[in-house]
Each structure stands twice: as C-alpha cells, then as structure tokens.
Structure 1
C-alpha cells in the first residue's frame, strides 16, 4: 500500500505493530502505517472494520482477508505488493504488507488526461509481468483497476489488493457471485461465470485504454448501464479518442477487449508480444524530432538551449545538448539490446535515462535506470549481463576497487543490485567491495542493502546465495 499518512490513528498498537498513522479507509477496513519493532521496518497494516466484524459477517470477512494473504503471500514478485504477516484478534483481523512509497494510479487517471505513451507502455508491461507471474502460480486477481495499482517513487508499478483473488487451492467459495469493480469487469464477471487469467487481461486492457486516452471504454452512469455496454457495445477505438496514438494500438486493444474469452489473448505474454509487435510496426523508418506524445506543430531545428521538461524528467526532442557528453558508440548498443526486449519505446527510454545522468555519464548507472523497464526476469538478466563487463557499449566504467576482488565481478554484482536500488548500486558495490574478503561475502553485503524482503530474496537467488 502507498505511504501517504493522513488522519491520526484510531489505535496505538495491533499485535507487535506500533500504529503511526492512517493511510486510508475503504468499505472493508482501514489501512494504517505501522512499525514492526522486531525487524525494524515500516509496513502497511490492513485491518477489517470493527463494525463489520461485529455485524455477523465475521466468518466471510476473515475468509476474504485470509484469501488475500494466501494469494499475495505466495507471489514474490517485484511488481506485486509483498505480504509479510497475517493475524487475528478477538475483534479484528489484519495483514501486514509492503509499504510502497509513492502514489496510486487512480488519481492520475481520474484527471481525465492521457499519459505519455512511453509511460503507459512501461507501466502496462510491468502490470502484465505481475499478472503473468500470478497466473502461472494459480492466482487470478479478479479486481484489476487503477485503485489497486500503485506506482512507487522509483516509477515501479505494483499490484495490490488480492482480497477477491481466486486461488486454485483456496477454500473461499465465491462461485456464481459477481466479483469486481463494474467499470473494469469482464463480461464473465458480470454473468457470474467461472473466470481465469483472461478476465484479468480484459481488465488490464481497460486500464491501458484509460492510460492511453484519458477515458474508460465502458463508462455508463450506472452499474446497469456499464454492464449493458460491456455485454453488448463495442467501444471506440483508442486512436479515435486520442488521435496522437499510433493506429497500430487499435487492433491489439480491441482484441484484448473481446467479449468472448477465447477471442482474447490467452496469456499476459501473448498480449504484450502483440502490443510490442504493433508498436514496432508503428516505428517510423527515420528518427523524428518530436516529443513523447507525437504532437508536432512545426518542425524546428534543435538548438543548444533545448530544455528538459521542468520537474518531469521526461525527454523532449531527439537531440538534447546534455547528451553530447555521451559517446554515440555507448548509447547505440544499449538502445539496440533494450529494443530487443521492450520494442521501439526503448529509444525514448534510453535518451531519457541518459539525460538524467548526463552530468556524469556512466554505463552502469544507465543500465540500472533501464533494467526495471524490462518485464521479463530472464530478459532483464540478459540485458544486465550484456553490459556486465562494459564491453557491450564499447567502454567500461565500473567501480574502482581497493580490494583483491576482480573488477568485472564487482561490476556484474553492481549491475544486478541496480535492478533493485538504482544508480546508487555502484556506490554501494564500491564501498562493500573494499570490505569484502570474497565474492560471496560481497554478495551477502549487497543483499543486506536491499530493504524489501522479496527483492532481497530474488537478488540472493540471482547471485547464487
């Protein structure tokens, strides 16, 4: 859950957790910011409302909360909010989960404006990576919507709230019930038919449609009207709502929003591959001096004064003066390898990342900024490994060592760590390398620098601890 403290807490302690503030309240319960004194970390503590707990719904509420803990607890993934603990008391039940520093996607989309194409595709790739992982582990979320999608301060999207998820081994019986949020529900959810991962992909396609156009494809004034539209109407094509979009998006999204599950993309990977292929086909043959949303009023030659958009960090223009610090031979192979993983949007992402650290061009820092954009674990590992020794971009800028460790091994470890810590990983690796007597000790020290348990476990697995 997102860390955005608001009202004072109504309770001071729950089990071992010290309550610090209230993050938010919903129909089912209250979410608190809390502190675990045993391992000294902050968590989001999700509880059931006391009045609901006492209203005769105790059994079903506890079953739903346990279901969320069971569903999310079995999914250790960088784009899924981690669940740490579950407990019950005489008058409530609670889940301790990862505290995400950032904000929800819903406020951004409620503004009714389309997101930048690169941002929307980046977050959608991360959403599909999370859903693909969940589906492979027998979990269907069943309530994918912007309110359940959190964006961390580092720009990483995380899926939250598995309270109505279906788990293959779950004892929570919801057969025939209409579960979900109407504007994002699949047709089979409205009819109460059995759902599988294709239902989540339908909901995810609605989220992408909204990110790209600023509006929802099904937006009736009542639940009944929304249901009628989902069951019978064909929404407008995305490019009809936002002419700046490449028409190649239309076919992919309209298929993803098919009423029949067997007419949709059958897996998260298949949906992303289709969208990636469509965007590759939409890539112009020659570079265009235009911005992220493809709005070009008049083609002007770029001048040395061309700025970055203030406060956004987003790239404007094809030839920023700050990029002149980067050797051309360094950026080209990075873009090529990233494009092989995520498609033509790689060109924009590479230049945006390069501009962010243009004052001190560093290959390792650049790879650290780009690696999280790759949704596939295997693809991300291959991308990092390609530049582990600096040869992938024609240069080596690894940390300077004052130890007996091999420089290339340390740089490889720093790049792996960068997927979780960002560019600061180089500093951490350099510092710990000077203190480590062996590569294994270095890996252990670097793992300890990762605060998120799930991420730390993935790093340890990656380096063979």
Structure 2
C-alpha cells in the first residue's frame, strides 16, 4: 500500500462506488468493529465479498483495532473463521476485504428449543476450540459476530478487539466488547481469556433457550453491578426439552470466576457431548476406518474393553463419535462419555448423575463414581473415554479399576494402549476419494483432490 491514511469525508459510501479498481460496493450490511461493512462484488474474480471500511472519525487508538483485526486474520486461517481476502486504502480510508458469509446471527433461522440449537452450539464450540488453539481470544462474541448458515454451521466475524500473542484488548483504560455479553473479569478491566469467550457463549445459549439474557438492566452501570455481584437467576420457567446436563453446562459457562468454567472450548465440547441427546449433525463421512469401527463394535457386543490407538488428529474422536451415535440411537444400553478435566473427579462428574454430582466428601464422591461406572459396564453399557491423556488423574484411577468389567473404549496415544486394541494408521489417497465425489467445486480442485488433501494434511485429514 503506497497511500498514507489521512482524514477523509466521513459520509456513508454509495452503492456502485468502486474500491481499488476492483471491488464494487453494494448495500450496507451493518456496522462492524470501528467501521461500516458492505456487500461488494469482486470484479476480478466475479465473486461476492464483504468490505469493512474504517471510519476515520474514530481516534487513532480505535483505528489500531482494525489493523489488529487484519493482523490476526492473516494468521488465523482455520475453518469457521471469516477469511481475509485483501486490504487497501480508498480515499484515505483503510479497508478490509473478507469472504462473504451467507448466514444469520446466532442461533440462526428457525431454531426452536434445544433440539434445533444443539448442532449450532457444537459447531460454535468446535470453531472456538480451533481459534483458541492458535493463541487467539475473540473478546467480543455476540450473536451478530456468530453467523449460522442453513445447515447449522458457524462462522465467526469481527476480530477487532481480539487478542493474540500478548496484545491487550484495552486501550486507554476502556474495556472493549459488547456489554451484555462480557465476562465478569472483562468488566473488572482484566484481559480476556478463553474462559471469557466461553462466558459469552453461555450468555448466547441462555438467551436462545430462555428468551432473555441472564442479567437484565436499564443502564450499563446497573448491568455491571448485576454481573459482578448478583447471583445467576434460576432457570425458570424450566425450558422444556433441555437435558439437565445441558442446563448444568450452561451454568458452568456463566460462572462468575473464570477458573470455575470449563478449562477450554474443547473441554466444554466434550462435556456437551457427554450429555447430549441424539441429533443429526452435518459431518464429512468417516473414511478409511471401517475395519477399526467393526473391531470396536465387536468388542462392545462381547462386553470387552478395547483401546483405539493413534496420535491426535488420527481420527480417534471421530470414531468414538460414530460409536456413540450408533448406540444412543439403538437405546438398548446405557452410554457414558468421559470428558477432559484437571480437578479431582471432574471428568466423571460430567456424566450428569445426580448421585455423583451431589455435594459430599471426596471419598464419598469417589465411591459413588466407582459404583456408577461399574454398574454401567456390568449392565452391558458402553463407557467412552476420549483423549485419555486429558482425563484428570483421579478419574483415570477409577476408570483403570473398572476397565476389566466390560465395554470401555479408550482413545489413547499409541504408547498408552493396552490389548485388545485397534491402530489408526495414516490414510491413503484412495481412502479419501469419497470426500470429493460431488464436491469438487467446494475444494477448488478439478482433479486429484484426494492426493492434494493427502499432501496438504500430512496424511491426517481428520
């Protein structure tokens, strides 16, 4: 960019105006972080895009948030995050060109009750886990920044106040973000963490199910007081069709202190999976794991434990998801899923058993957990342990003792696996071919798509 950002006319740009000799502006989509967002047509590629144009009336400290957003989007190339396509200067105004997202604010259109919301929550947590894994905290999650398409897939927008690699979300002592979705620690002036984003997710889920936000106030100061001092309202009237485990998870997301929330988006996702009801989710097919699936299913039918061995990214969790869906759909035996955790017995508390979750001494709770796991296995049920290395050591001790009792399926690193076991090896191009049938345009590859995916993902496209 050769131009220097200068003062410019702050009036709204007109449809038909052209930027950089390439982007023709359409209608105004709304106001994003520190600028207006327009639909536009990329004349060069003949594609629809979204253009965010900085309002130069904002002080320089505000403009830095847009520059930060560009810097973060340049490196944050993960599924479920809006893509940065280009950037430049138009009449002294800095602009960003991003992929156009066809969706509606969370939870999307036609969502009624938990059954319709479940797939959207899971999609949001998956995307958030990817964002956090790149060292980025969004810091301003709200329905308008979480667009949902007709299939329930989520795309995150507006990283204008996000933090990455030590960047602060505060400027001049002013807390950034949308007040009604801010976590308590953000109100206190602390930099947001992944748990702050999870709090915002909790507010959005609560609002989607109950019809109002957890705290109601007619001024920002009263809202801050409520968030920091008042207890969470009861879930009344109780929302019909919402499992107790989901209600419990929402309240954990809304905990006043960050350390009491799930440790990560992945942790929240695993807790959500442990108590979720059967629902249909849009997924790519599970390829190249048919033999492993059959061996695990055989072990379950014979009430024997089995380990699914492979490094992270090899498809261990995907296989456990498929096993869980099959047996929950059958409904002929109990299915328990262990989640990640760090505090004592946290991984087992997520089962949602009222006995295990009730207050009591550690020894009492530990004994109840052992009893619960043992009963499930002895009744012919299935215990699924995803990512054994992330299970808290107290829960792991309970599981180790119960493993010989029945069908416990553990997803583990190869060096942790016991026998019987199945190994998940590298996928071959021929096993990936099914991904591309009828989807060539999605991948932008005219031929050899399976070979290209195999190459780009180091043989682990899971």
TM-score, normalised via structure 2 length: 0.59
Question: Structure 1's 11 and 20: CA in aligned 2 closer, same or farther, altered over 3 A?
Answer: closer
**Structure 2 counterpart of 1:302:** none
Alignment of 1:113-192 (within 5 A): 115-168=112-165, 170=167, 174=171, 176-192=173-189
Alignment partner of 1:33 is 2:45: no
Aligned-pair distance for 1:130? 1.8
Q: Does the 8 Å CA contact 1:86/1:94 hold for their aligned counterparts? A: yes
Q: Any stretches of 5+ residues in structure 2 without a counterpart?
A: 1-11, 282-293, 301-316, 331-386, 388-427
Specify which of 272, 275, 278 is matched with residue 278 of structure 1: 275
SS where residue 32 of structure 1 aligns? strand
Report if the CA contact (8 A) 2:142-2:178 is conserved. Answer: yes
Q: Kindly state the Cα deviation for residue 146 of structure 1 after the two structures are TM-superposed.
A: 0.5
Counting only pairs closer than 5 Å after superposition, residues 97-116 of structure 1 correspond to structure 2 as 97-105=98-106, 108=109, 115-116=112-113
Report the CA distance between 1:10 and its aligned residue.
4.0
- Residue pairs, 1:88-99, within 5 angstroms: 88-99=89-100
- Residue 218 of structure 2 is aligned to residue 221 of structure 1: yes
How much does 1:40 deviate?
3.8
Matched, 1:266 2:258: no
Q: Hey, what's the Cα distance between the residues in 2 that align with 1:347 and 1:100?
A: 36
Aligned to 1:43: 49
Partner of 1:83: 84
CA contact (8 A) 1:128 1:269 kept: yes
Q: Deviations over 1:202-231 (max 9, x none)?
A: 101111222233322123222223222211
Does the residue aligned with 1:195 lie in a helix, a strand or coil? coil
DSSP-derived class of the 1:266 partner: coil
Q: Which residue of 2 aligns with 1:413?
A: 433
In structure 1, C-alpha distance between the alignment counterparts of 2:326 and 2:235, rounded to whole Å: 22
Verify the 8 A CA contact 2:53 2:96 in the aligned structure 1. Answer: yes
* Cα 1:195–1:247 shift into 2, 3 Å: same
1:425 aligns with 2:439: yes
| Matched residue, 1:18 | 23
Structure 1 residues 279-428: aligned runs within 5 Å: 279=276, 340-341=320-321, 412-415=432-435, 417=436, 424-425=438-439
CA distance in 2, matches of 1:152, 1:459: 30
Following TM superposition, by how much is the alpha carbon of 1:162 offset from its aligned partner in structure 2, in angstroms?
0.5
**Within 5 Å, which residues of 2 pair with 1:61-76?**
61-76=62-77
SS of the residue corresponding to residue 439 of structure 2 reads helix
Aligned 8 A contact 1:18 1:36 in 2: yes
Q: Which has the higher contact order (CA 8 A, sep 6+)?
A: 2
Q: Distance in 2 between matches of 1:442 and 1:114?
A: 35
Q: Give 3-state SS (helix, strand or coil) of 2:52's partner.
A: strand
Residue from 226, 230, 238 that aligns with 2:227: 230
**Greater share of strand:** 2
Instruction: Give the C-alpha shift of residue 142 in structure 1.
Output: 0.7
Q: Check the 8 A contact 2:26/2:41 in 1, yes or no.
A: no
Structure 1 vs Structure 2 CA RMSD: 4.1
Summarize the Cα distance change of 1:8–1:77 in structure 2 as closer, same or farther, 3 Å threshold. same
For 1:369-425, what per-residue CA distance to the aligned partner results, in whole angstroms no more than 9, with x for missing partners?
Answer: xxxxxxx9xxxxxxxxxxxxxxxxxxxxxxxxxxxxxxx95563232x47xxxxx33
Q: Are the aligned partners of 1:185 and 1:203 in contact in 2 as well (CA < 8 Å)?
A: yes
| Deviation, structure 1 residue 251 | 1.9
Between the aligned partners of 1:13 and 1:349, the Cα distance in structure 2 is 54
Q: 1:462 to 1:164 in 2, by over 3 A?
A: same
- Given that residues 212 and 238 in structure 1 are in contact (C-alpha distance below 8 angstroms), is that contact kept between their aligned partners in structure 2? no
> Per the alignment, do residues 15 and 263 of structure 1 end up closer, same or farther by CA in structure 2, a change over 3 Å counting?
same
TM-score normalised over the length of structure 1 = 0.59
> Shift of the alpha carbon at 1:244?
2.6
Q: How many residues are matched?
A: 323
Cα 1:228–1:344 shift into 2, 3 Å: farther
- Mapped to 2, the partners of 1:219 and 1:115 lie a distance apart of 22
Contact 2:108–2:147 under 8 Å retained in 1: no
Work out whether 1:461 is the aligned partner of 2:457: yes
Asked if the contact 2:53–2:93 (Cα under 8 Å) also holds between the matched residues in 1, the reply is: yes
